[in-house]
């Protein structure tokens, strides 16, 4: 492993109907399998947790890329992480759609910045070749 900057820790017990906590106690959540397409109001699931992490990571990468390009932006990322049936093994997989909103640049500039962010974001690197990630970009 290359030089470790920091390590995050979380513990899950009980799987999709269990509980998850972080080592610092900030995350302390019940987990529940969604019934139909709507998640329970009083619990989360791995897909929501992944979506939150990916959105935050991608927004950080986007702002880094914009800063290096000398662009002042205001951005927001809405990550949709879907649990999908996987016909390859009759199991499941995830798919991601990142809705990338960037104020302060043209549509072409927004697409360029988002494309560069996708190259450097650690979540994007981790999912590359494993998870279908679609970028929907809106610049203003």
pLDDT in tens, the chain (140 residues): 679 998 999 999 999 999 999 999 999 999 998 877 777 778 999 999 999 999 999 999 999 999 999 999 999 999 999 999 999 999 999 999 999 999 999 999 999 999 999 999 999 999 999 999 999 999 98
- Same domain for 17 and 77? no
pTM attached to this predicted model: 0.92
**What's the pLDDT score for residue 35?**
79
- Same domain for 28 and 6? yes
Q: Which domain holds residue 33?
A: 1-44
- Same domain for 58 and 36? no
Alpha helices in the chain (DSSP H): 46-68, 107-120, 122-127
**What's the pLDDT score for residue 44?**
93
- Same domain for 100 and 118? yes
Rounded to 5 degrees, φ, ψ at 99 are: -90, 110
Structurally, the chain folds into a number of domains equal to 2
């Amino acid at each position: 492993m290359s030089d470790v900057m920091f390590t995050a820790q979380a513990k899950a017990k009980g799987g999709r109907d269990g509980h998850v906590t972080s080592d610092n106690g900030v995350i302390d959540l019940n987990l529940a399998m969604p019934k139909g397409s709507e998640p329970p109001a009083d619990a989360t699931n791995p897909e929501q947790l992944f979506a939150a992490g990916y959105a935050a990571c991608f927004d950080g990468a986007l702002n880094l890329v914009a800063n290096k390009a000398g662009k002042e932006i205001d951005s927001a990322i809405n990550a949709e992480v879907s649990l999908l049936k996987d016909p390859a093994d009759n199991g499941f997989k995830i798919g991601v759609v990142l809705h990338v909103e960037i104020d302060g640049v043209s549509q072409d500039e927004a697409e360029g910045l988002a494309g560069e962010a996708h190259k450097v974001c650690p979540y994007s690197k981790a999912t590359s070749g494993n998870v279908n990630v679609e970028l929907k970009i809106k610049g203003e």
